[in-house]
């Protein structure tokens, strides 16, 4: 699966979808706000359906806007009805450590057959428990893990090892990508997917020496054409 695009902008999705380099899109309230999506639930619904329709059958992750157990279930079921390729994002626990989120994820996956992306994880053990709860995706925030002073690569390797050993279905997503080098590094460590913002994805493509080489080829081609004319 490799790369999911982290954006709420239609033009970004269209651009990289035409290139064929993305395998899904992820959003959250912060991303959508930065993308200018304002107007409450109606605006969220409209943009989500627009992106989901654009990328189908590739997955789109849309995050609930509450940490109340009943409201999470209601929102998740609503989001899932917007499009068949929508996954619902739910954080690993609440802002004060509320652990009922695991029950919500398990209920959504097993009773309502809704695909869940369990997000905001910072450790391999959180990934394992999310996978055991039935989450389709477990999202480890690599950049934030690194900011805490230890290498996310170790957590990815541990998480992938135990998930594979237990034959669990969950795919490991690594988000919070801060540098271009993170993408290959994290995929090589065992991540199934790395999420990237458009700037990181462009940075993966454009290299100064590639630009220099392209200029050289074009300049030499023009010189060759001029020589043929003379």
- Closest C-alpha to 183, from 169, 203, 164: 203
- Cα–Cα distance, 17 to 60 (Å, whole number): 13
Could you give the C-alpha distances from 192 to 10, 19, 163, in angstroms and in order? Answer: 25, 20, 12
Annotation says 89 is catalytic: yes
Task: Annotate 134-169 with b (16+ C-beta within 10 A) or e (fewer).
Answer: bbbbbbbbbeebbeeeeebbebbbbbbebbeeeebe
Task: Annotate 114-131 with b (16+ C-beta within 10 A) or e (fewer).
Answer: bbbbbbbbbbbebbbbbb
DSSP 140-175: EEHHHHHHTTS-HHHHHHHHHHHHHHTT--PEEEEE
Catalytic residue of the set 15, 34, 89, 169: 89
Q: Which residues make beta-bridge pairs with 116?
A: 88
Q: Which residues make beta-bridge pairs with 137?
A: 117, 171
Q: Any idea which residues carry the catalytic annotation? A: 89
């Amino acid at each position: 699966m490799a790369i999911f695009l982290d954006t709420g902008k239609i033009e970004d999705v269209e651009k990289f979808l035409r290139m064929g380099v993305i395998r899904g899109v992820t959003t959250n309230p912060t991303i959508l706000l930065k993308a200018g999506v304002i107007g409450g639930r109606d605006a969220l619904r409209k943009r989500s359906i627009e992106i989901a329709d654009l990328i189908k059958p590739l997955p789109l992750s849309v995050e609930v806007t509450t940490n109340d157990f009943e409201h999470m279930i209601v929102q998740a079921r609503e989001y899932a009805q917007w499009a068949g390729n929508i996954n619902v994002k739910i954080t690993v626990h609440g802002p004060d450590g509320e652990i009922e989120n695991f029950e919500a994820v398990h209920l959504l996956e097993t009773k309502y057959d809704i695909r869940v992306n369990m997000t905001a994880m910072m450790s391999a053990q959180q990934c394992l428990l999310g996978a055991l709860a039935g989450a389709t995706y477990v999202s480890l925030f690599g950049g934030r893990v690194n900011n805490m002073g230890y290498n996310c690569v170790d957590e990815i390797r541990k998480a992938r090892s135990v998930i594979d050993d237990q034959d669990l279905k969950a795919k490991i997503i690594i988000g919070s990508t801060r540098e271009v080098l993170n993408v290959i590094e994290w995929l090589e460590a065992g991540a199934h997917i790395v999420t990237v913002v458009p700037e990181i994805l462009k940075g993966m493509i454009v290299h100064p020496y590639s630009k220099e080489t392209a200029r050289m080829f074009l300049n030499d081609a023009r010189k060759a054409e001029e020589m043929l004319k003379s």
